[in-house]
Amino acid sequence: MEALEGLEAAKPEAAREHVFSPGEQGDGASLPETKFHADRAASDVRRCKVTVFPVPEKTILDFLKGLDEVLVIEELDPVIETELLRICAANGLSVKIKGKLNGHMPNAGEYSAALVTEKLRDFLGLRSSAGQSAAPGLQTPLPVRPPVLCAGCPHRASFFAVKEAVRKYNAGRAVKRKAVYSGDIGCYTLGNALPLDMVDTCLCMGAGISNAQGIGRAEILLGHEAPLNFAFIGDSTFFHTGIPGIVNAVYSRANIIIAVLDNSTTAMTGGQPHPGMGFSISGSPAEKISIVRVLESLGITEIVRVNPFDWEEAENAAAALLEKDGVRVIVFEAPCIMVSLPGKPLGIDTEKCSRCKLCINKLGCPAISCDLPTVSTGPSVSIVSIDRSLCTGCGLCKSVCPSLAIGAVS
């Protein structure tokens, strides 16, 4: 109880700097962890940005005094909105709270600047004039840019090595063997996008390994040939929730290939350390737990370690595991570009380039692009180029270029 009372006493100070009260009555907007996007017309609206939970109740009460209605702008669940309703009810306030629960804000999706501006204008009764852009300053719509693995990301190389190994494995078979790629939570979830197309399932952290086991058994129960079942999991997810699934796979004698994508960081959420890195969140030394030794301790004997950028070796390692049964593991080891220095960027020799676009259509690297034909190049000629500001020199594109047109530039 003493700890809770201390927390309650500290909460107002944590949020006080985010309270603005230009008026004594009228409208208000509550903005928990959301960027405030509004035009000058909203400058006289009382605003409160809530950055802590449980919410600072005294500060919230001060904010609500004299208001008729409040618009709550928060992504994900309506946590702050629910708290405002509770506070109003407990203190006999007749302030109308508008948000997700009554349809004034969308329940799902990203709250973009344009969306927040539109909802604020609706709330304040300030409709934009005909033809006025919802996002001032943007004269033309922005191009669609789907999320993609970074240029030089080792996960792209890992996925491509497995994909090519499976393709060549099936090329020699009269009846193609089905391959299922169970994914997990992390940057590598982006492997689901074309042209890689290497994530068939994504449920929750650690579920990829369990999914692969279940899918394999389901196919056999249906009378089908056992598929090639891959489970992709990152190094941090391996330690977080991957180990129990591996224990079950060994215990139940599953027939799966686990691909551990070890990029030496927790890349998707900001580069936090994990037990396999050798230092703690504070930066102090910590015991470095070996992924391979953990796997060996579980009785797994088929374990291969490889650098995915060693293209031939990586593909051969994946191919070798396809011919075996039981639980086998391939550990792809190469650092994330955010924790390693880039190499010298590559370029394309336009004289050698045949414009086959295999580097684009097989890898989907954002550093490689194809310029539209111009008057100077001719109506049927497009120029493939590498953006030197993005290229890390990983060399993966060199391995797929049949014309040997990709290499170091002076």
For 69, the 3-state DSSP assignment is strand
Query: What was the pLDDT predicted at 18?
Result: 45
Query: What was the pLDDT predicted at 143?
Result: 78
For 364, the 3-state DSSP assignment is coil
**Across the chain, what does the average pLDDT equal?**
87
Whether 407 has a pLDDT exceeding 60, the answer reads: yes
**Non-local CB neighbours of 194 within 8 Å, separated by 6+ positions:** 364
Whether 10 has a pLDDT exceeding 70, the answer reads: no
Q: What is the pLDDT of residues 31-87, one digit of tens each?
A: 543 444 444 444 568 889 887 788 899 999 999 999 999 999 999 999 999 999 999
User: CATH for 154-339?
Assistant: 3.40.50.970
Given a contact cutoff of 8 angstroms between Cβ atoms, the answer to whether 15 and 56 are in contact is yes
Q: Where are the alpha helices (DSSP H) in 172-303?
A: 207-221, 235-237, 243-251, 291-297
Q: Report the CATH fold assignment for 346-408.
A: Alpha-Beta Plaits (3.30.70)
Predicted confidence band of residue 169 (pLDDT cuts 50, 70, 90) = very high
Lowest-pLDDT range of 35-39, 170-174, 272-276: 35-39
Query: What was the pLDDT predicted at 114?
Result: 87
Question: What is the arithmetic mean of pLDDT over 16-21?
Answer: 42
User: CATH for 2-124?
Assistant: 3.40.50.920
Q: Determine the Cα angle at 150 with ends 315 and 206, to 5°.
A: 70
In our burial notation (b when 16+ CB lie closer than 10 A, e otherwise), range 165-175 reads bbeebeeeeee
Cα 162 from Cα 155, distance rounded (Å)? 11
Given a contact cutoff of 8 angstroms between Cβ atoms, the answer to whether 73 and 119 are in contact is yes
Question: What is the arithmetic mean of pLDDT over 199-205?
Answer: 95
Q: What is the pLDDT of residues 323-377, one digit of tens each?
A: 999 999 999 999 999 999 999 999 999 899 999 999 999 999 999 998 866 555 5
**Non-local CB neighbours of 329 within 8 Å, separated by 6+ positions:** 257, 258, 259, 260, 295, 300, 302, 303, 304
Whether 19 has a pLDDT exceeding 50, the answer reads: no
Predicted confidence band of residue 409 (pLDDT cuts 50, 70, 90) = confident
Find where tokens 């078979």 sit: 173
Predicted confidence band of residue 250 (pLDDT cuts 50, 70, 90) = very high
Cα 386 from Cα 348, distance rounded (Å)? 7
Query: What was the pLDDT predicted at 12?
Result: 47
The residues of the chain that CATH labels 3.40.50.970 are: 154-339
Query: What was the pLDDT predicted at 138?
Result: 57
- Pick the closest to residue 158 from 330, 410, 381, 366 (CA basis): 330
Cα 209 from Cα 212, distance rounded (Å)? 5
Q: What is the dihedral of CA 91, 92, 93, 97, to 10 degrees?
A: 90
Partnered with residue 232 across adjacent β-strands are 259
Alpha-carbon separation of residue 347 from 206, 340, 350, 372 (angstroms): 39, 21, 9, 18
pTM over the 0.75 mark: no
Backbone region of residue 395 per phi and psi (left: phi > 0; alpha: psi in -120 to 50; beta: other values): left
The residues of the chain that CATH labels 3.30.70 are: 346-408
The residues of the chain that CATH labels 3.40.50.920 are: 2-124
Share of the chain above pLDDT 70, in %: 84
